[in-house]
Amino acid sequence: MAAPRPLNRSDVQLLLDRSVWGRFGEATLRSPIEIEWLTDNDGIFTAFETRVYAEDLGFKPITTPAYSPESNGMAEAFVNTLKRDYVGGANLTDAETVMRQIPAWLDDDNRVAPHSALMNLAPREWRDRERQTSGVH
């Protein structure tokens, strides 16, 4: 059974790699667009090596302001959504199995799951409607 443990630098780097590969393909060495990467101020995210690695992949590391209830609340809400909607029915045999499932959870959350803040549309559906309305493609 997978058990919680603190993230380490390798975990964070692998998650960054997988996020770029998931969006742009596994052959991608650097995102073709700059991606803002918002984290809290935990040392694993603010470490020089982590920030350089992220920047080399095309991320723009941004840390939440210290003691910011708004951004902390958004992050906690996202984690709670993943736990509620995906982890409960997931295969938690080991950490590797859990990690393999995360991209599908995120894809479902972005493509299928309705979000109350977006008029009960999935984020991609909402973004597509906004682009059509504004004429931006």
Q: What is the mean pLDDT of residues 10-31?
A: 89
| Predicted confidence band of residue 95 (pLDDT cuts 50, 70, 90) | confident
**Each residue's pLDDT tens digit, 44-78:** 888 999 999 999 999 999 888 777 766 677 777 88
Give the Cα separation of 127 and 110 in Å (integer).
10
Give the Cα separation of 95 and 45 in Å (integer).
20
Q: What is the DSSP string of 30-42?
A: S-SS-EEEEE-S-
Three-state DSSP state, 118 = helix
- Residue 2 confidence (pLDDT): 60
- Average pLDDT across the chain, whole number: 85
- Residue 34 confidence (pLDDT): 92
- Residue 124 confidence (pLDDT): 84
Give the Cα separation of 58 and 60 in Å (integer).
7
